[in-house]
Amino acid sequence: MSTLAFGLAALGVGSSMADGLQSGPLTGVAVALGVVALVRRIWGSKIILDKSTVAVVNPIFTYVIPARDVLKVETSSGGSLSIQTIHGDLIPSAGFAGSLIDHMVGSAIRAIDQVDEYVAATRHSKANLIATKRVSTSWFADICAVGAVVCAIAALAIGD
């Protein structure tokens, strides 16, 4: 919902420049697009259980772990979910980061149960997989971030 609101704000501020480019509205568009990019990155955090792997998608990095390498799935005292591998790596999940809402509805506990059940069912997979870490992809967020940078540079160049 906030993505839509800030997107509409960017369009509204941008449309106010019908008489020509002005640095004030361009700065507003840059801020709105920057907020959209940030929110989309954070809200895109999740855990994906697929093809004998557990993928932890965080705002910046995505970790893909073979299910057989998952040693333990747990929450910290603050409620943040993390996955410990047999290699000693501790991978946090931003999607289950111990928010107030999570404490009330218990989504991290349910996620732990689902991941544990999945790992138990696929642990003996013969697939030859290795753990990987890569940059998370969020095309919409990245396009908004580039737009924010372009608008910010344009606002600086125009000045007032």
Amino acid symbol at 35: V
Could you write out the DSSP letters of every residue in 110-126? HHHHHHHHHHHHHTT--
The strand pair at 80-85 and 90-97 is best described as antiparallel
DSSP state at residue 67: G
Give the whole-angstrom CA distance, residue 72 versus residue 69: 9
Residue 146, pLDDT score:
93
Model pTM score = 0.77
Per-residue pLDDT tens digits of the chain, which is 160 residues long: 555 665 565 566 555 555 556 677 788 888 889 999 999 998 888 999 988 889 999 999 999 999 888 989 988 777 788 999 988 899 988 888 777 777 777 788 888 888 888 888 887 777 778 888 999 989 999 999 999 999 888 888 887 6
Residue 124, pLDDT score:
76
Residue 61, pLDDT score:
94
Which domains are seen in the chain, by residue range?
2-42+139-158 (no CATH), 45-135 (2.30.29)
Residue 158 makes CB contacts below 8 A (sequence gap 6+) with: 21, 22, 23, 26
Amino acid symbol at 108: A
Where do the H-state alpha helices sit in 16-135? 23-43, 100-105, 107-122
List phi, psi (to 5°) of 50. -155, 135
